[in-house]
Amino acid sequence: MDSCEKRVLLTLIVPVMNEEESISPFMAAINDKLEGLAAELEILFIDDGSTDSTIQQIEKAATNDERIRYLKLSRNFGKEAAMTAGLDHAQGDAIVPIDVDLQDPPELIHDFLRLWQEGYDTVYGVRATRLDDGRRKRASAGLFYRVFNRLSHTTIPPNAGDYRLMSRRVVDAIKQMPERNRFMKGMFAWPGYSSIGVEYDRPARYAGFTKWNYWKLWNFALDGLTSFSTWPLRIWSYIGGGIALLSLIYMLSIILRTMVFGIEWPGYASIMSAVLFFGAIQLISIGVLGEYIGRLYIETKGRPIYVLEKKN
């Protein structure tokens, strides 16, 4: 491989929002843990609409370290858009998205780089432990991976986050995907190519607090399922067919009872139960259709995924 014969450029993509306390510790950890790295390093911060002094801290760090570049988005577009901006502007032969809170151990990049040089296009981190996650969050994450991989043709490795090394050809393939509703875990896996996982223990955050509450995680999971699977739409064909079959059986039973025992007057409870049940089914199916139609509406407008305010 050519990357073994020359010194390659490795880009770290670091999306941040209101992380003023984390910039200095992150750079200290990078300098300490990546000393002797077998690659030139580019550190690309993407400020996703911070309202504190995050961008000032990045600019200060950049004046003392020529490896640092930064992009400032005009407002908060979300982490997926910030990572997209990073992929668009990364110059490296290999690219590593990494969190600034040090939950992604920088020292793992040595293993990432070695495996990439052995021929793997994607080397992803697999969380052996999630010390800062509660039991409910771990259980819901496990359920999401199982459901997603059953319903989608694109397989996401369980417990693999955004922390990974990707070759330039993987990144170039991702850059050809223009959708506005971006589920990066699925997009990272979609190009295929050879991949391998590396286990690591995920520590607690060094500073600050997580921006992901349960509501945001639910919407994130919903984006993932609707972006990479049509099963939520297709399943209603099966549900409709099943209900139609049950209705036909019930109708035949009423006809037979009427022929044998004469006319019966149905009760109020049975009518209301049927009306409420079928009404609920219709509302749920309309809601699923609405989710897809809403995403089609967003895509057809063709707005940019992000807007840059400044960069260096």
Confidence of residue 51 (pLDDT cuts 50, 70, 90): confident
Least Cα distance to 101 among 177, 220, 212 occurs for: 212
Whether the pLDDT of residue 11 is over 90: the answer is yes
Q: What residues are paired with 72 via a beta bridge?
A: 47, 310
Distances from the Cα of 165 to the Cα of 10, 44, 87, 189, 280, angstroms: 9, 14, 12, 12, 46
- The predicted structure's pLDDT at residue 4: 45
Residue 23 in this model has a pLDDT that exceeds 70 = yes
Task: Report the percent of the chain where pLDDT is more than 70.
Answer: 62
Mean pLDDT computed over 294-301: 72
For 224, phi then psi, to 5°, come to: -65, -45
Asked if the model's pLDDT at residue 219 lies above 50, the reply is yes
Higher pLDDT: 210 or 310? It is 310
What was the pLDDT predicted at 71?
A: 92
Q: Among 32-36, 199-203, 257-261, 263-267, where is mean pLDDT lowest?
A: 263-267
Q: Quote the tokens at residue 254.
A: 């009423």
Mean pLDDT, range 19-42, rounded to an integer:
87
Least confident of 110-124, 126-140, 288-302: 126-140
Joined together, the tokens standing for residue 40 give 């030139």
Q: Where are the beta strands (DSSP E) in the chain?
A: 9-16, 40-47, 68-73, 94-97, 122-130, 160-167, 195-202, 308-311
User: Quick one: which of 195, 190, 229, 210 has its CA closest to 122?
Assistant: 195
Separation of alpha carbons 292 and 258, rounded Å: 44
Quick check: 76 and 15 in contact, CB under 8 A?
Answer: no
The mean pLDDT value for 14-35 works out to 88
Bridge partners for 308 per DSSP: 73
Residue 264 has pLDDT above 60, yes or no: no
Flag whether pLDDT at 275 surpasses 90: no
Mean pLDDT for 124-133 is 71
Q: Range with the lowest mean pLDDT among 37-51, 97-111, 141-155, 211-225?
A: 211-225
Q: Calculate mean pLDDT across residues 40-45.
A: 92
Question: Which amino acid is present at 307?
Answer: V
Strand order in the sheet with 122-130: 195-202, 122-130, 160-167, 94-97, 9-16, 40-47, 68-73, 308-311
Which residue from 57, 39, 48 is spatially nearest to 94, judged by alpha carbons? Answer: 39
Residue 21 in this model has a pLDDT that exceeds 90: no
Query: Under a CB-based contact definition with an 8 Å cutoff, are residues 195 and 115 in contact?
Result: no
Q: Which residues contact 72 (CB under 8 A, 6 or more apart)?
A: 47, 55, 308, 309, 310, 311
- Average pLDDT, whole number, for the chain? 76
Band (pLDDT 50/70/90 cuts) for residue 250 is low
SS3 at position 148: helix
Most confident of 33-47, 120-134, 184-198: 33-47
Q: What does the alpha-carbon distance between residue 202 and residue 74 come to, in Å, rounded to a whole number?
A: 31
For residues 175 and 7, what is the distance between their CA atoms, to the nearest angstrom? 25
Q: What share of the chain is helix, strand, coil (3-state, %, to 5)?
A: 50, 20, 30
Residue 58 has pLDDT above 70, yes or no: yes
Residues for the chain: how many in total?
Answer: 312
